[in-house]
Structure 1
């Protein structure tokens, strides 16, 4: 139980991403934030996240998630909604070229 910080699956020098939130009885509950930093000597900044239900078994509501290959040269996030753990409706894709830039919505042609 309590607050936790987890490294991302691809954590490395070029992908400094962590997840912060709370566990209860071995399941993620409540708000979980996704944070990243450019270099080891810099603070982490929130770039996404969302909510798990009170049972800790599904994502609910609005989420901002990172791509599986998020790293310094490939910074892509997805924004959209979950109902009962299932993605619903439109999900927007945003990207940025550098950590100091804001994310921009990708325009499909």
Structure 2
């Protein structure tokens, strides 16, 4: 077992013992037990990976993902799983993956299963730990197809691409068997001063996609502004409300609404 030690010199400087061994032939292959820094390791993303490389420098067996919060001095396991023993570096079985943008204000993980080909299958849950809380809570997820195509199918709750502490936005709706959005999709927002996710805007946030699987927005929609955020100090909770035609094009007048005070603050006309 590799010993991970943390020295709390001050809040901005911490040291841990990690690393491992390279092969004796000079091929710069990592072999045996290793503690790696996660890509993008920094003050608010103190994430490491702990596991084993085979003699070919390939990850095998169990790998644990460990994280130390900025104001703490102890690494705790928050994720991980197993790689195949054949040296294909495929994730297999149950895994807890970290979001690609994981950091202190976006502590998001994805919990589910990989098949023997290393593809996501069945149910995957999206878990989130708020900065001031101690336990992860499920805020999203859904199912992948059983054929190993990694297609989302059925009802899903997806996170907004910019999801983090001050933009806790999700999209709730359905994927068809081809992995395409169809029917009604709702946009939900967790307001910092409230205790639950709420739909956006004066009307229901979101709208509908066509049923033919073209993933076209049709009819009335309430969309988030590209810079939408719920920050305490510099909030911008703005939506754009209007209509798409059957070709998925914006038509008519689109209204820009500030949903903090329920006031119109602009409009734009589309001609198609």
TM-score, normalising length: structure 2: 0.38
d(CA) in 2 for partners of 1:40 and 1:23?
Answer: 32
- Correspondence for 2:114: 82
Tell me, yes or no, if structure 1 residue 47 matches structure 2 residue 78: yes
Structure 1 or 2: more strand by fraction: 1
Question: Which portions of structure 1, spanning 4 or more consecutive aligned residues, are displaced by more than 6 angstroms?
Answer: none
Cα-Cα RMSD: 1.6
Q: 2:128 aligns with which of 95, 101, 106?
A: 95
More relative contact order, 1 or 2 (CA 8 Å, 6+ apart): 1
Give the drift of 1:56: 2.6
Stretches of structure 1 lacking an aligned partner (at least 5 in a row): none
1:10/1:69 contact within 8 Å kept: no
Tell me, yes or no, if structure 1 residue 66 matches structure 2 residue 98: yes
Give the drift of 1:68: 0.4
1:38/1:99 contact within 8 Å kept: no
d(CA) in 2 for partners of 1:46 and 1:94?
Answer: 15
d(CA) in 2 for partners of 1:32 and 1:56?
Answer: 14
Give the drift of 1:10: 1.6
d(CA) in 2 for partners of 1:16 and 1:97?
Answer: 16
Q: 1:105 aligns with which of 138, 142, 156?
A: 138
Give the drift of 1:2: 1.1
Give the drift of 1:15: 0.4
Tell me, yes or no, if structure 1 residue 36 matches structure 2 residue 74: no
